[in-house]
């Protein structure tokens, strides 16, 4: 048995081999390292512009967490409800990871929860729009930041959010 840590969310995975994706945040296999190698980039070494991008990312992830949670509770379709319950947990993990980078507590917020509607089709379209916007933002943020670890963090989020777009293309 080996101990691995996800470089995106920092969560621990126990197993003989790395998982194909993080069961907590959805990061791909290549973002797992031996727990002995894992290290979180300290917030006190981040440029202010990078911190601002991380704060924007936090707002985006919290908003999506709440939107997806509301859909999961509202949908009468078991598949749709399950999909959004899972997406809500992943987005919440992203928000927690961002807070770790910023060295802050995760804020309590319900922003986004009032955006879910009764139509699964409309909610899925809105989710796809949100995920595409996230991919665009993370691409721009990755290009701006000089901090290698944060650049990789944003690139990982691009991969994960791109996976979410595929989910919404049912």
pLDDT digits (tens, 9 = 90+) for 103-132: 999 999 999 999 999 999 999 999 999 999
May I ask the CATH architecture of the domain 43-168? Up-down Bundle (1.20)
Provide Rg for the chain, Cα atoms: 16
Q: What is the pTM of this model?
A: 0.92
CA distance 136 to 73: 28
Structure token digits, residue 32: 């797992």
Q: Express each pLDDT in 15-73 by its tens digit.
A: 999 999 999 999 999 999 999 988 775 656 789 999 999 999 999 999 999 999 999 99
């Amino acid at each position: 048995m080996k101990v691995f840590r996800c470089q995106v969310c920092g969560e621990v995975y126990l197993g003989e081999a790395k998982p194909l994706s993080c069961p907590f945040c959805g990061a791909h296999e290549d973002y797992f390292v031996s727990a002995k190698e894992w290290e979180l980039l300290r917030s006190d070494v981040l440029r202010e512009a990078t911190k601002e991008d991380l704060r924007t990312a936090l707002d985006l992830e919290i908003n999506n967490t709440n939107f997806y949670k509301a859909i999961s509770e509202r949908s009468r379709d078991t598949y749709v409800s399950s999909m959004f319950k899972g997406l809500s947990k992943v987005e919440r993990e992203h928000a927690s990871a961002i807070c770790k980078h910023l060295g802050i507590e995760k804020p309590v917020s319900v922003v986004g929860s009032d955006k879910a509607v009764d139509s699964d089709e409309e909610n899925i379209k809105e989710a796809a729009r949100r995920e595409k916007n996230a991919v665009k933002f993370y691409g721009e943020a990755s290009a701006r930041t000089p901090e290698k670890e944060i650049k990789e963090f944003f690139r990982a989020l691009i991969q994960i959010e791109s996976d979410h777009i595929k989910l919404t293309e049912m």
